Chain A
Amino acid sequence: MKSKERQQYLLSLAISVILALMVGALIMLATGHNPLEGYGALVKGAFGTRRAWGNTLYKSFQLCITGLATAIASSAGIFNVGGEGQMYLGALASCYLGARLTGVSPWLALPVCFLAAILSGAVYAWIPAVLKVKLKINEVITTILMNSIAIYFCSYMANGPLKTMERGVNTGTDAIDKLFRFNRLIPGSNLSETVFWIAGISLLVWYLMSATTTGYEMRLTGQNERFARFVGLKADRLGIAGMLISGAMCGALGMFECFALQNRFKPDFSSEFYFDGMLVAMIMRYKPFGIILMSFFFGALKMGATGMQSQTGISSELILIVQSIIIFFMAAEQGVVARLQLRKTRREPISKGG
C-alpha cells in the first residue's frame, strides 16, 4: 500500500512537471518564442559547459541542504520559515571569526568558524521553537518576522560596526583569511569544496530522519503531538531538536556561501536561497530522499533559466511560473488526497470485510 501510494505520488509529480513545462511552452508561444529553442537553451544553460554544470550542481546542493532543513523541522511538527535569517546570522558570525582568526591554523580556525555558524543558526531557531512549544505561538509568523530582524541586523553590522576598511568594498565585513577559503572545484563556477560538506550534512540528516530512533520519534511528534506526549515521548524536546538542527544547517550554509564565494560577509550574499529549498521540500512532502532527488531537477531549472534568458531573450521569470505551476498542481493533488483520506476515515470503514 505504501509503495502504491509512492507510485501514485511519483506519477502525479511527473504529470505535474510535464503539464507545467507545457504551460511554459504555451507562454513562450504566446510571447513569440519557439518553445523548442527556449527549452533547448535552458538545457544548454544548465549543462552546456563545464561552468554551467558546476553552477547547476552547486545550486542543487544548496537546494538540497535548505530543503532538508525545512524537512527536519517539519517532520518534528514545526514549520521553519526562518531559515533565511538563521543563514544570515551563521554567515555573519563565521565571517567575523574568519577575519579575526587570521594567522591561526585553518585546522583550528575552520572548525571554530563552523561551530559559530551552526550555533548562531541553531540559537536563532531555538527562540521561535520554544515560543511554539511552550506558549503555542505560531512559528510561521515568528520565523518570518525574525527573518527581517536578522537580515537587517546583519546588514547594519556590515554597513556599520563591522564594516571593512578595505578599499573598493562598499558594504561587507573584513575579508576572511585566504587560508580559510574553500577552493573552487570547477574554475569560474560556484562549485567548490563546500559541496562535500553539504553532501555530508545532507546524508547525515537523511540518515537521522529515516533510520534512527530520534527521526522516528520526531516524525510521530510532528504527526500527532498529543499522541507523542501520551506514549511518553518528550514531544517538546523533539520539536525543539528538529528546529535546532534545521537552524544549524542554515547557519552552516551561510558560512559555506561566504567562505567559498564572497570571501567576506556581504548583506546581499543570499537571494532567498532558503525559500527555494523550502519549496522543494514542500513539493516532496518533506521526504528526505525525494528532496535530494528533486533538488537536482530544480537546480537545473533555476540555472538553465539564466542561460535561456541570455540566449533567447525569454525572461528567466518564466521558470518561476513553471515552478509555481508544479507546486500548484502538487498542492491541489495533496488536497484531494487528504480529502479522500478524511472521508474514508469518517465514513463507515468499508475496507476490511468486518
Chain B
Amino acid sequence: MSEIQHPPIVQFSHVSMQFPGVLANDDVTLDIRQGEVFALVGENGAGKSTLMNILYGLNTPTSGTVSVKGKPVDEFSPSAAIARGIGMVHQHFMLVPSFTVAQNIVLGDEPRKGLFYDFARTDQIVEELVREYGLKVNARDRVEDISVGLQQRVEILKTLHRGADVLILDEPTAVLTPQETDELFDVIRRIVREKAMTVIIITHKLYEVMAISDRVGVMRRGQLVGVSETKDVNERILASMMVGKDVLLEDLDRIDDHDDTTAIEVENLQVMDNRGLPAVRGLSLHVERGEVLGIAGVEGNGQSELIEAITGMRPIRGGTVRIQGKDIRGMTTGEIRALGLAHVPEDRLSTGVSAQSDITDNLIVGKEKLPQFSRGRIHLRKRSMRAYAQQLFDRYDIRGAGVDSLVGSLSGGNMQKVVLAREFSFDTPVLIISQPTRGVDIGAMDFIHRQIMEKRNASCAILLVSADLDELYRLSDRLVTIFEGRITGEFKPKEIGKQEISHYMTGGGREEQA
C-alpha cells in the first residue's frame, strides 16, 4: 500500500453475488489501481468472470458496493459502465462478421452525414484510432476474413473508441496462437504505458500472469484468496493458491512396450478448407499403437482440416488415410468410428456435445444400440443408461448437479470431461484428440492428461493436436510441426526446445518427413 500516487480506479467492497443455489462471489474486497495490469486467476467456476461482469454491469451484486473513480456505482448496466469508462472484451467476440473492421468499431456510435451513414468518416476515425494506439488493423477488411487475433484487436479498438480507460479482457489468449498472444501483450503494455490505461485480464494461464501483470489476484470458490505483486510470486505459488493443493503438473508415468503396429497412416493427404482453398497439402504421418503423436503448429495451418478429414467430417481431396489398415475414403463418421476410432473434437460446444440434452444422453450416444442399453436395438433401457452414465460421471469426476442436468449448464472443463468420458469409454484402439484442455482449469487439465496417458499406456494410438506447447511436450512421444498444411519437422520432445520448435511451426527449416 505504498504507492499513494496511484489511487484505486476501481474498488470492490464486500461484494457478494448469489445465483440460484450458488454463491458465485463471496465477500470480495479488491482495489484495482490506476495504470496497472491486474491479472485475475482461478479455476473454472471460481467467480472471476462473475466479478468482472459486475464491473461491466452485466450482473447486479447481491450485496456490497463497487466504486469506479471514487464514485459508487448505483446503476448496473453495460451502457452505464461504458459511460464510466469500463470496456470489456468477452471470450466470444461480439462482432458482425459481414461488416468491415471500421464499421464494427464505430457500431452503435456511427458518424453521420445528415441522415446517412458516413463511410469515409468511419474509415478516417478508425485510422486515427489505429495511429493513436498503434494497434495495426486494416479498416476496410471484413471481419469474417481476418484472423481471430485481429478480431480481438478490433474488439479492443471498439472499447477504446467508446472511451474506455479500464479494459477488461476475459481469457483473451484462449483463442490465440503463441505469436498472437505475444502481440496482444505488446498491445497491452503499450496502452498501459502510453495511454495510462488500466487493464484487468482474466486468465487460466499462469505463465501469462507472470509475463504481463503488475499484480495478481487469485480466486477460489467465489472468494478472493490472495492479492500480490506479481514479482513476489511464482507459478507454483499461484497454482497452489488456485486449487488449494499442490498440483503443478509433474511428469506422467509412461509404460513403454508399444507394439509397433501402425494404426493411423496418412499419405500425401490433401484437404480443402471451408472456402475451397487447399488447407492440407500433401501431408503424411503415421501413428503406432502405444504412442502419442503430437502435432504442433500455429492455429490455422491445416490442423483442423486434417483432423476432420481423418474422422470423416470433411471430404478427402487427394491421398489416403488408413485407420487400422483400412482406407477410409468415402466413409461416413459412423463407419470410421466402427473401425475403432474415437474423437475428442476441438470445438466441444458445437461439435462435442449436445448442450440442450442431459448428461446421460450425451454420455450414452453411440452405445444406445448395445444390448445393455436397448432391447432388440429398439426399446431403450433407461434405467441402465442412467446407471452407466452415473458410473462415468463419478469416474471422470464431472462436477455438475447430476446426470439429469443439461450439459449446457456445465463449465467448460466439466463439459470436456463429458466428451472425454464418452469417447474414451468406447475403448477404441485409435484416439484423435484436439485441444483437450482448451479453456480448462489446471485441476481438470491434469486429470485429462492422466486419462490420455492411461489410454496411451493401454496401447492406444493417439493423435494429439494442441495449441498448448506445454501440453504437447508433456504428452507426446513424438512431435511433428505443421505449417501451411505440411509437416515441417519431426522431433522427440526431449531433443528440442520450445524456442527452436516454434521456428519450425512458422515455416523455418522445411524438411518433409514423418
Q: Which of B43-51, B160-168, B272-280 contacts A (4 or more CB under 8 A)?
A: B43-51
The distance in angstroms between the C-alpha atoms of A231 and B414, with both chains bound, is 19
Dominant SS among interface residues on chain A: helix
Among B27-35, B134-142, B178-186, B352-360, the stretch that binds chain A is: B352-360
Q: Is the CB of A224 within 8 A of B354?
A: yes
Bound Cα distance A203, B70 (Å): 66
Residues of A within 8 A of B46 (CB): 348, 354
- Bound Cα distance A323, B21 (Å): 35
Minimum CB distance partner of B348 in chain A: A227
Q: How far does the alpha carbon of A347 sit from the alpha carbon of B366 in the complex, in Å? A: 30
Q: Which residues of B sit under 8 angstroms from A30, Cβ to Cβ?
A: none
In this assembly, does B282 line the interface, its C-beta being within 8 Å of a C-beta of chain A?
Answer: no
Cβ contacts A214-242/B at 8 Å (1 or 0 each)? 10110110011011111111100000000
B334 touches A234 (CB 8 A): yes
A353 to B378, CA, bound (A): 38
**A211 proximity list for chain B (CB < 8 A):** 379-380, 382
Within 8 A of A (CB), among B362-385: 365-366, 368-369, 374, 377-380, 382
Query: Are B332 and A212 within 8 A (Cβ)?
Result: no
Interchain CB contact under 8 A, A351 and B45: yes
- Verify A353–B399 contact, CB threshold 8 A: yes
A168, CB-defined interface residue at 8 Å: no
A213 engages B374 (CB within 8 Å) = yes
A105 to chain B, nearest CB (A): 33
- Contacting B334 at CB < 8 Å: which of A223, A233, A353, A354? A233
Interface size on A, residues (CB 8 A): 33
* B355 with A224: CB separation less than 8 A: yes
Q: With an 8 A cutoff between CB atoms, is B1 at the interface?
A: no
Decide yes or no whether A1 CB sits under 8 A from chain B. Answer: yes
- Check A217–B368 contact: CB distance below 8 A: yes
| A310, CB-defined interface residue at 8 Å | no
Give chain A residues whose Cβ lies under 8 Å from the Cβ of B401: 1, 351-352
Determine if B231 is an interface residue (Cβ-Cβ < 8 Å): no
Closest B residue to A210 by CB, please name it. B380
Q: Is A345 an interface residue (CB 8 A)?
A: yes
A-B contact count (CB 8 A): 146
Q: Mark A174-214, 1 if CB is under 8 A from B, else 0.
A: 00000000000000000000000000000000000001111
A231 and B366 contacting across the interface, CB-CB below 8 Å: yes
Q: CB-CB contacts of B318-359 with A at 8 A, as 1s and 0s?
A: 000000000000001111111000010100001111111110
Residues of the B chain whose Cβ atoms lie less than 8 Å from the Cβ of A351: 19, 21-22, 45, 400-401, 409-411
Q: Min CB distance, B464 to chain A, in Å?
A: 18
Say whether A350 faces chain B, with CB atoms less than 8 Å apart: yes
Quick check: is A100 within 8 A (CB to CB) of the other chain?
A: no
Q: Find residues 284-313 in chain B having any chain A CB closer than 8 Å to their own CB.
A: 311, 313
Whether B409 pairs with A344 at a CB distance below 8 angstroms is yes
A136 to chain B, nearest CB (A): 14
Chain A contact residues, CB within 8 Å of chain B: 1-2, 211-214, 216-217, 219-220, 223-224, 226-234, 341, 344-354
Q: Which residues from chain B sit less than 8 Å from chain A, CB to CB? A: 19, 21-22, 24, 43-50, 53, 90-92, 221, 311, 313, 332-338, 343, 345, 350-358, 361, 365-366, 368-369, 374, 377-380, 382, 399-402, 404-406, 408-414, 422, 441, 443
Q: List 11 A-B contacts (CB under 8 A).
A: A211-B380, A219-B357, A220-B357, A220-B365, A223-B355, A224-B355, A224-B356, A227-B353, A348-B48, A352-B399, A354-B43
12 further A-B contacts with Cβ under 8 Å, apart from A231-B366, A348-B47, are A211-B382, A217-B365, A223-B355, A224-B350, A226-B350, A232-B336, A344-B409, A346-B92, A351-B22, A351-B409, A351-B410, A353-B399
